[in-house]
Structure 1
Amino acid sequence: MNSKSLFIIPLFVLLLGSIPSGKALPDDILSTVIEGISGRYGSAKGLAAEYTREAISKTMAKLGVADRHDLAKGRLYFKPPHFLRLEQASPQEELLLTDGQILWWYVPLKKEVYKYPAEK
């Protein structure tokens, strides 16, 4: 798998996660996009990519405070069909793991671990 391919899937995952609540993609469009990605990259044994996520809340955008945003950086690992590991390095270390059934979120600074069902 080339470096362009390694970039596309994590980018898609991060873009989907940045859609403001209440403005999600319609199910038919989302299904089409996911099927296309699965068709093209479904045979991949896995991938790893560095990521940068930037989020500006609706409130900050309305106030014109675009210079105050949430910026996170780290590394993402994915292994089909459902294994995901996200290692956030900044602004603080965090680790997110899932096997498609359980999602674990570890915050070393707080020495706390959270466990969630992955379907929520």
Structure 2
Amino acid sequence: MLGTTTWAIPEGYIPVGSTGPEPELESHETVCLLNAGDETAAVEITIYFADREPAGPYEVTVPARRTRHVRFDELDEPEPIPRGTDYASVIEADVPIVCQHTRLDSRQAENALLSTMAAPIE
């Protein structure tokens, strides 16, 4: 099976400002979830902060043999993730998945894009 059931992204930050058209060029972070298996994945995302208790879990599903890109700035239940605040995330799924982390920082007209694999936890 491709992937694992627990992933960590220790670095998180949604920039406050943006330039360019929204929503495409609005500053944001995304977790890209790949479910290459034969069963739908039930995924929970928990957000950790430096100065308060964690938020979540945020619940999403990824159908079998599909990908889903989840923008952190669009997660609002149980609460929105604040912009301009350091955070980390733990992604847990009931079947193996693969996770990648991406940030678009468009505070300047010269946009910056960062993408890295999340850390698989075995």
Query: Normalized against structure 1, the TM-score is what?
Result: 0.28
Flag the structure with higher helix content: 1
Q: Please identify the structure whose Cα radius of gyration is greater.
A: 1
* Structure of greater relative contact order (alpha carbons < 8 Å, 6+ residues apart): 2
Flag the structure with higher strand content: 2
Query: Normalized against structure 2, the TM-score is what?
Result: 0.28
